[in-house]
Amino acid sequence: MKFDNSYATLDPRLYHKQPPTPLKNPQAGHFNPIIAKRIGWSDDVELMQNWVSILGGEVIPNGFAPLAMAYAGHQFGQWAGQLGDGRGLLMAQVRDNNDQLIDLHLKGIGLTPYSRMGDGRAVLRSTIREYLCGHAMTQLGIASSSALGFVVSDTAVRRETIEAGAALLRVSDCHIRLGHVEWIASFAPDLLVEFTDYMIDTYYPDSRQANYPVVDFLTQVVKKTAIMIANWQLIGFAHGVMNTDNLSITGSTIDYGPFGFLERFNPAWINNHSDYTGRYSYQNQPAIGHWNLNVWLPHFMRLTQAGVTKTALAECLAHYETSFMQHYQHGICQKLGLAYPIQQPNESISAPDLATNRLALTLAYDLLSIIEQNRLDYTNSFRALLAVIDASNFQHEHDLLQQLTLSLDAKQLKLWQDWKTRYLHYIDQYTEANEVVSTLQKHNPVYILRNAMAQRSIEMAEAGDFSEVERLFQLLSNPYDVQNIATQADVTPPAADAPEIVISCSS
């Protein structure tokens, strides 16, 4: 691997160097060959042979420089003070096959100075959920951390009950959070210039070409965050705990805790059992992203010599809503197979094209209304549109469409049929059917990580059988294709009268 441990060269107040605390008798859970190839791990015989010992904290390979990061944050809207890596270590930074900087972060590996009241460990159930979801999101095309693999052990960890301790080697393009800057602002303000330079030079080097590099950097963070959250909304993903310390500066999804994918569509769905007010519900995610950035940006007011002013920061933040709406509207139309071009700066759209775009958006929002009113499955409803266009060549989608229509009462069935007529008329007028089919296939997955799927793999793994983890890993590797290894349960939502799933933060 090509090591580039640049974070370890920063001011030592930003981290604490330490080795991991080994797990007892670590055993293989699952290994990700896709990530191993990407980062060069699979080219090193010693790393391949010792991956279980490395992830279990027993072996620190040459080139690794483990450290725990210090950061702070706002949690559920309240200032939480110093946080930091309380059970994880940034083990190394490497360059992948595309020369992109990649962090290797080992989670569940013991106490650090930032553990507060925690025990520094992770349990098997949460480790499997993060492992599978990071992989699923990556294969869905959404910027996300993933993982090289995970191990389970004989280390006993107390949560609600005694559970098996586990560790996961998370892989991400960045582990710098909004909370890093919050920590600097409160505890080491003299480091702001140095740290900002590091963020720009390491993650946004193109900003150096701008008249005001810091302002351009901040604008890019705002835009990437907006696009990430738009992608969450489009795929039906709810993060569950969007604290400022859980958002990366690169717009990549990190910190999978009480996450979930929408099944029966309820925009107000709360998947975190600690979220008593619904602050982090699915429908609130766009507003919370804006809130977090609004808290984060003013810390840069100290950099007045770099062109940072209140006006400049307001202009940075103004990009959030524009970026989110453009990307979401573009994406929701793609989920219908329809074109909706993203308007570029200083680009004008003709009146006829504008009218066509409005028709496409109206179709999209009307379909969402039908899905919501009938609590239909979010993923299946969009995928079923393939059968509306071409029922003869899409048997799986034809079955989904039948299930959808059979669940509607007479009034709702009439609304659906009227919508379908308008949809097909739009396609006849403005598109080519083959292009619609291609776009539908690319933007509507067959498979997401449903809660029941994850739970089934966890229960089998806790009994020592990791075959379901392997099956789901393979299934989620190609989420846009119908696969023979799938079961009916992989595409079946909970019963309409089943209580909505909430997930514990304790992991």
The residues assigned a catalytic role are 245
- Compute the chain's Rg from CA coordinates: 23
Q: Name, in order, each residue with C-beta under 8 angstroms of 401's C-beta and a sequence gap of 6 or more.
A: 384, 387, 388, 391
Long-range contacts of 369-373 (CB under 8 A, 24+ apart): 370/412, 370/415, 370/416, 370/419, 371/265, 372/265, 372/266, 372/267, 373/412
Contact criterion met (CB below 8 Å) for 40 and 96:
yes
Contact criterion met (CB below 8 Å) for 108 and 87:
yes
SS3 string, 298-315, reads HHHHHCHHHCCCHHHHHH
Q: Which of 403, 393, 481 is nearest to 441 (CA)?
A: 481
Side-chain-side CA neighbours of 497 within 13 Å: the count stands at 0
Q: Which of 53, 82, 87, 55 is nearest to 68 (CA)?
A: 87
Q: Which of 257, 249, 264 is nearest to 76 (CA)?
A: 257
Give the count of beta carbons closer than 10 Å to the beta carbon of residue 246.
22
Give φ, ψ of 169 to 5 degrees: -95, 95
Give the count of beta carbons closer than 10 Å to the beta carbon of residue 118.
12
Side-chain-side CA neighbours of 383 within 13 Å: the count stands at 27
Q: Which of 168, 360, 185, 382 is nearest to 257 (CA)?
A: 168
Give the count of beta carbons closer than 10 Å to the beta carbon of residue 130.
26
Beta strands in 188-313 (DSSP E): 237-238, 260-261
Name the packing angle between helices 310-334 and 213-235 (round to 10°): 30
